[in-house]
Structure 1
Amino acid sequence: MVSTSTRRWQLVFWLGLLVFLGWDWSSSPPIDLRQEPPLIAAGSGQQVSGGHCSMAK
């Protein structure tokens, strides 16, 4: 059986996670799927716009 303290910390964790996800969803701009490169284009030579792949070598 799980102790009351453990259950309390589990509840705090899940509530905190839900609050964080709700905040993130409400404060982030919507994703424009029409501007995203297709996944099939990965490695096709199409220029990347961010992340470690776009750093100069």
Structure 2
Amino acid sequence: MRYNKEDLIEWIIRERQPGGQMFERFTERARKVIVQAQEEARKLNQNYIGTEHLLLGLI
């Protein structure tokens, strides 16, 4: 199976954006919490989302 380079790049960019397809199964509210948790992790210069970030995302 062959893939077009441009299509793969587009897919990777789309998946890496907050609310990408990997969060499709979540409700809109849950997606917002995850996006906020991502922002909190970035503010703290951390490259993971932990329970502390999720808690901040809920507040």
* Alignment TM class, shorter chain as reference: 0.3 to 0.5
Q: Compute the TM-score of the two structures, normalised by the length of structure 2.
A: 0.32
The structure, 1 or 2, with the larger RCO (C-alpha pairs under 8 Å, 6+ apart) is: 2
Q: Compute the TM-score of the two structures, normalised by the length of structure 1.
A: 0.33
